[in-house]
């Protein structure tokens, strides 16, 4: 049966054996441990993910002074909430408005703000998105993501070419006036913080 990481070049069995052999050698050389693998997997499967970015967005929607600090220095503002670290040492939050829609990409590799969004989905790292989103973003958003942007809204693409890590503060949806930060965070999707999808509706 086909496996998710089969490629035209190698089967999952072949990749698995190669990585296991490499891991065995690195363990013997005193560089790796299986515990370190398990710990890192635990962190990015269960502790660090888009739920953290969603908490930051919800706070920005409900606390105007925090939002100011977030837009001025995202890493410092996130640190107030205990959020930050590897691949988000210098984060920059870009705000969607009625006239501007922001989208992030890394055309040269796959840079992504791990501390707030976790590890990137495979499509973000794959050639189709990286090649096209800078050239035909309206077409990609409308046709590939089902998320058209009106012509009178400027689309800004942030190509993460340095160690700055950009991510998007989406607009607070209408009809959420009565909601608290916890309920609001549940509406914030990973894709809305990349810029390729909407936030949820209450």
Partner 1 sequence: MNGVFDLGGTDGLGKVQTIENEPVFRAEWEKAAFAMFSNCFRAGFFGVDSFRHSIEKMDPAEYLLSNYYEHWVHVIEDRGAQKGVIDPAELDARTQFFLDNPDAPLPEREDPDLLAFVDAVVKSGAPANRPTDKEARFAVGDKVTVIADSPYGHTRRARYIRGRTGEITAAHGAAIYPDSAGNDGPEAPEHLYTVRFTAEELWGPGTAEPNNTVYFDVWEPYLTTAS
In degrees, to the nearest 5, what angle opens at C-alpha 155 toward C-alphas 152 and 161?
165
Q: Count CA within 13 A, CB hemisphere, residue 33.
A: 3
**For residue 15, what are the contacts with CB-CB under 8 A and spacing of at least 6?**
5, 7
Q: Which among 75, 78, 111, 192 is annotated as catalytic?
A: 111
- Reported in sequence order, the residue ranges of the chain that DSSP labels E, i.e. its strands, are 90-95, 100-105, 154-159, 164-169
Of 172 and 190, CB closest to partner 1: 190
Closest CA to 194 of 68, 101, 61: 101
Of 63 and 123, CB closest to partner 1: 123
75 is in an annotated binding site: no
Shortest Cβ distance from residue 175 to partner 1 (Å)? 25
Shortest Cβ distance from residue 192 to partner 1 (Å)? 14
**For residue 129, what are the contacts with CB-CB under 8 A and spacing of at least 6?**
105, 123, 140
Shortest Cβ distance from residue 202 to partner 1 (Å)? 21
> Catalytic residue at 111?
yes
78 is in an annotated binding site: no
106 is in an annotated binding site: yes
Of 141 and 184, CB closest to partner 1: 141
Taking the alpha carbons at both ends of the chain, their separation in whole angstroms is 40
> Catalytic residue at 78?
no
Shortest Cβ distance from residue 148 to partner 1 (Å)? 12
> Catalytic residue at 109?
yes
Of 89 and 183, CB closest to partner 1: 89
Catalytic center residues: 106, 109-111
The annotated binding site for Fe(3+) is made up of 106, 109-111
């Amino acid at each position: 049966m086909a496996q998710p990481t089969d490629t035209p070049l190698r089967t999952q069995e072949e990749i698995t054996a190669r990585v296991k052999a490499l891991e065995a050698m690195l363990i013997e050389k005193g560089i790796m441990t299986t515990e370190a693998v398990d710990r890192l997997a635990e962190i990015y499967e269960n502790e660090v993910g888009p739920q953290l970015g969603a908490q930051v967005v919800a706070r920005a929607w409900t606390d105007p002074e925090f939002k100011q600090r977030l837009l001025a220095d995202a890493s410092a503002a996130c640190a107030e909430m205990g959020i930050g670290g590897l691949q988000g040492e210098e984060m920059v939050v870009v705000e969607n408005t009625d006239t501007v829609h922001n989208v992030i990409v890394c055309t040269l590799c796959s840079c992504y703000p791990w501390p707030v969004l976790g590890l990137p989905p495979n499509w973000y790292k794959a050639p189709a998105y990286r090649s096209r989103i800078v050239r035909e973003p309206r077409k990609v958003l409308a046709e590939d993501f089902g998320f058209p942007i009106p012509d009178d809204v400027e689309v800004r693409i942030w190509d993460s070419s340095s160690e700055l890590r950009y991510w998007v503060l989406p607009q607070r949806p209408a009809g959420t006036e009565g909601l608290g930060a916890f309920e609001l965070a549940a509406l914030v999707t990973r894709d809305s913080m990349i810029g390729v999808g909407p936030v949820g509706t209450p």
